[in-house]
Every structure is written in C-alpha cells, then in structure tokens.
Structure 1
Amino acid sequence: MAEQQNDVIALEKITGTDVATVLKTLPKMGKVMVIVQTGRGVTHERIGPVESVEVTADGVRLSGACHESVVDPNEIVAIHIDRSSVMRGKVFPTLKFTNEAGDVMFSVVGMEGTEPMDQALSAFETKPMEEVDVNRVGPVVDRGTAPEISDTDPAMVLFTQLSTMDAEVKITAQTPSLTQVWRGKVEAVKPSMGFVNVMTPDFHLHLKAGGIASWQEQAGLRIALNADGMPCGLTVEAAGLS
C-alpha cells in the first residue's frame, strides 16, 4: 500500500482489553486491508470487509469473501492506533499489533477513513503515547532509484508462469503471529518500484527484488527461500505446478 507517512508519529495504545476482543470489532470497520510482512521481502495484503471473527483452538480466525487469516494472540503484547498514513489528503488509520520486542507483527488499515474505525473502537480506553521516530527499513525507494526487476528473478519467473495458467492459485504468508491466505487467479504480474507485484481488487502481493533467491519445489507447491536457503514465509500452491 503506497502511502505518505510522517517520520515522527504519535500513537495511541489500546488498553484494558485483549487481542481477540479488539479483532472482533473488525466487521464494524467496513473495508479494511490486513497486512502481513514476513520480514524477508514479502508483503501479503488482503482487502475487503472482515465478515466474521471466531476464537478457535488454533487462534483467532478472520473470515469472509476477502479474508482468511488466523492470528495467534499469544504473540501480541500491544495494539496501537496510528493515524499518520495519508493519501491524497485522506487519513487511513492503522491498527498495529506488536510483539514483546515492539516489532509490528501485522496491521489492519481502515480503507474507509477514520470514522468507521473510531466508532468500532469507541468502547476501548486508549493511552496517548509519546511521539515515536519511525525507523524505516532501508531507504524510501523512488522511481529514479528503484532497482530493475530481472526477467530471471525467481519471483518474476514463477508468477509470470502462474499468470499464463488458467488455474486457481493459493498464496499463503506465514509469520509467528499470523497465517494469511489468498485464493484466486494470477492475471498479471507488474514489476515496479523494485518489487514484483500481483494486484487484484481483494489482494496485493509485493515481493522485493532479489528477496526470493529460489523455490523449494514439490508437486503443486513452491516454498520461497532466501539467499541463505531459509524460508521467506511464503508458499504458492497450484495444480499446474509439477
């Protein structure tokens, strides 16, 4: 999600409640984007209303036509509201779910502006936090400095292949706190701004150039690996992958 973000931001911490209770308010927020970043160059974004939230033995399940996610609430120690993201003059408030180290494990962006999210969260107490310096991961990439995507980039090769197949694809991102799934057809691959991008009305996938060094291949399954041979937190399944 392209955005303008201030380098110094003010956060509000939600207090006096738990992760599951906050997540149960998502259906009241209308269209949202649930963003998971694996920390290895993979950003997986689901877009649309969350229709139901259920606490199960596996975690807190977010469901609906546009969402299939399972959250492990034990990995989350704090929830903050961030209103610093602005696009074309419109504020897109973000719920940030952080772990004990203060790392953002996943985020929920209110795509309809501040009012639906504020109303959904109105029953909770919040505590203003001191201004926080935003530590960006690497430089802000612009069109003049973004690396070109090679035709041999492993992500580009696989997703170009998938775009030629008339078959449903299952793309899963996984971190210690959240597993998120999208199913659909990859209709186009768009290399831009140093990323391999797959974009549909209900799903965005952004893969950093060179972040995926290879794929572990199994019948119908590909597992993304980095340069050290470690999983990147991304799997791709399709019947046409031999």
Structure 2
Amino acid sequence: MSQQRYERERLLHPAADVLEMAGRLGRVMLTASREGATHERIGLVDRVERSGLAVRLAGAAHDAEIDIAALGAVILDRSGRMKDKALPRLDFQDRDGAALFSLVGLDGLEPFDAGLAELRGMIADAAAPAEPMERTDVAEGDPGSLPFEAARRAGLPVTIELQRQGLRQAWSGTIEAVKPAMGFINVMQPDFHLHLRAGSVASWRTGEDGAAGDDLELLAENAQGEATGLVVRGPAAALGKP
C-alpha cells in the first residue's frame, strides 16, 4: 500500500539525507534570503558531495555549501503554483524552526515526488501567511547597485555570494544586465537571480580577502555598518571601490 501524501509534510528524515536527493528532482531553484538580498541558483544539481558535517550541491548551475549541524526540520510543500504550473518545494529550517533556504522544483510535481518517493513524512501545519512588504522605489545611484553596474560595464566575470548561518551560495559569471524593478535591484542570468531590496545596502567595505593582487572583495553593509552577508568578488578592474 502506498503512503498517503499530504499537501504539506514534515519529513521524517535528517535534513542531510533529504539533501542527498537533490540530484533526483529535475531542475530546482535553491533560494535563500538575508537582509534584503535573495540569492537563487537555477538548474540541475549535478553532484551532491557530503563530507563530515558539510553537504555541497555542485555543478554547472549550483554552488552551495551547507552545514548540516545548522539544519532542523524539512517541510515538503506541494501547494505552490505559478499560473497552471506546480512549484513544489522543500523548505529547510534551522534548529529554531526559522526558514533557512528552499529547494523549489521547476519541472512540476511528478518528477519532484518521484525523486523523494522513498522518503516519508507526517502532516505539517499550514504555512504562516507572508507578511506584507513595503515597496520602495529604487533610487538613482542606490549604493546596492554600484558593484553590479561596474562589473556590467567592464564585461569581466565576478562572483556574487550570499552567506548566512549554515549556508554559503555563490554564482560566478559576467553580468549582462542590472534591472531595477518592483522595489528591487535585479541581476538576472539563466542560472542565477539576485533580487536586492532597494535601500538595503548602505555601503560596501573592502574585505580582507580582497587585498591580494588584482582581486577585490566587497562586503555589503547596512545602515548600521553591519555586514549583510552579500559579497561580491572579482578583478579590481571590474569592481573598483564603490
């Protein structure tokens, strides 16, 4: 007898075991947010590499390192939709039950469920409603856009990384366009999206890893001078010092 499936399930498996299924789910988007920045990698997971307490999702479309010691429950949510397309997701929580990151299935429900068929779950509570977000227009010269515009003009490859407790995710490539829209600064590539809320970055500080040779590392800071976890690395000729 097959197991009854629920719209939302709390999986009865360690988060690391669930992550090892990532390569079976078809195209996925790993999306993580911190301090106004949402960092998304999009495509097939070619390799899942596990070493001690670390799991790495790797390949042409993914570059994420996850500390499994920081992970708590995993919620399988089948309710997501965009128009007529199902967008199932795995929501990975931290030890306190807060959202850490999600894997969203982009090829529909069938391949997603097939990839997770051997996992079991119990019914989970309904998701809390999303809090309404105040939308702010992107001001001309918003500090958040400066390194991305500089890299676009230079036409040189850079790395855009998001760091938060338990997760580091990066993308490297040449920025084709920087588009302000809907209150966000957007960098949109086929395998990567960055959505940076207007006004969330007050300045960029040169990191310690950016002092060697011709490379530069820039750390985004909020209005209180605190690092937000958004990092840009690349040749000084691409980034300059905003």
Same fold (TM over 0.5): yes
Gaps of 5+ in 2: 1-5
Matching residue of 1:11? 8
Q: Does 1:34 align with 2:30?
A: yes
Q: Does 1:24 align with 2:14?
A: no
Q: Structure 1 residue 160: deviation in Å?
A: 1.3
1:208 to 165, 175, 197: 197
3-state SS of the aligned residue for 1:36? strand
Matching residue of 1:47? 42
| Seq. identity, % | 38
Q: Structure 1 residue 130: deviation in Å?
A: 2.9
| 1:56-95 matches, cutoff 5 A | 56-57=51-52, 59-95=54-90
String of CA shifts for 1:27-74, please: whole Å, max 9, x gaps. 111110001112x00100000000110112461011100111111111
String of CA shifts for 1:130-176, please: whole Å, max 9, x gaps. 33432x2443x6xxxx4221122111222111110121110110111
8 Å contact from structure 1 (residues 11, 130) kept in 2: yes
Q: Supply the AA of the counterpart residue of 1:117.
A: F
Question: What is the number of residues matched between the two proteins?
Answer: 226
CA RMSD of aligned residues (A): 1.6
1:160 to 138, 149, 152: 149
2:220 to 217, 224, 228: 224
8 Å contact from structure 1 (residues 19, 73) kept in 2: yes
Q: Does 1:129 align with 2:124?
A: yes
8 Å contact from structure 2 (residues 147, 232) kept in 1: no
Gaps of 5+ in 1: 1-8
Matching residue of 1:3? none
Q: Supply the AA of the counterpart residue of 2:228.
A: C
Q: Supply the AA of the counterpart residue of 1:227.
A: A
> Structure 1 residues 10 and 133 mapped into 2: Cα distance closer, same or farther (>3 Å)?
farther
Q: Supply the AA of the counterpart residue of 2:234.
A: A
Q: Structure 1 residue 194: deviation in Å?
A: 0.3
Matching residue of 1:149? 138
Q: Supply the AA of the counterpart residue of 1:76.
A: L
Q: Supply the AA of the counterpart residue of 2:185.
A: V
8 Å contact from structure 1 (residues 190, 198) kept in 2: yes
Please identify runs of 4+ aligned residues in structure 1 that moved more than 3 A.
Answer: none
Q: Structure 1 residue 23: deviation in Å?
A: 0.9
TM-score relative to the length of structure 1: 0.89
3-state SS of the aligned residue for 1:223? strand
Matching residue of 1:172? 161
Q: Structure 1 residue 84: deviation in Å?
A: 2.4
Q: Structure 1 residue 197: deviation in Å?
A: 0.2
Q: Supply the AA of the counterpart residue of 2:114.
A: Q
8 Å contact from structure 2 (residues 151, 157) kept in 1: no
- Provide the rounded CA distance (Å) in 1 between the counterparts of 2:139 and 2:127: 37
Q: Does 1:235 align with 2:224?
A: no
Q: Supply the AA of the counterpart residue of 2:221.
A: L
